[in-house]
Amino acid sequence: MPRITDDYGDLVNFSKTTVIQAQKAYEEAKGILNNVLTELETCTERFNKLIFEIERCGNGLEEYRRQFDSDSAQPGNMEIKMAILKRLEQQRSMVSTCLRTSCREFEKLRSKITMEDSCEDSDSFSESTMEDSVTEDISPNGITR
């Protein structure tokens, strides 16, 4: 085992127990960080899917708008314009539903992350003093400061 010295070159003496506690705290912190990174990746994937869905619905609405404004519907032909308007309303309703669903999903993700943060905060009070001192460099969301 290599000899550890402080800034002044004096030997520093660590007990085996202290080293083992520090290693355990490090492994636990590493596990928490990995969990947070995995959750972040999952949330990012969900976020990107929701953005894609919103953009797809927006593109559909834009296409309907172009059709409505095109010359294919003569100004005097109210039946055609009313049919197009009805389709536009259905599309708007679909986009509105998609946006509401997206907002609910984001709120679920936000509350899940908030609950995990509060659980991690309450768990930290029950840890030993040694583990507290080692994990002080890790924020409540598990990311190293």
For the chain, the structural domain boundaries read 16-135
State how far the Cα of 127 lies from the Cα of 133, in Å rounded to an integer: 10
Tell me: pLDDT of 27 over 80: yes
Q: Where are the beta strands (DSSP E) in 63-145?
A: none
pTM: 0.41
Distances 24 to 56, 122, 133, 139 between C-alpha atoms, Å? 48, 19, 13, 18
For the chain, first and last CA: distance in Å? 29
Tell me: pLDDT of 132 over 60: no
Tell me: pLDDT of 28 over 80: yes
Closest CA to 133 of 22, 36, 59: 22
C-alpha count within 13 angstroms, C-beta hemisphere, residue 35: 14
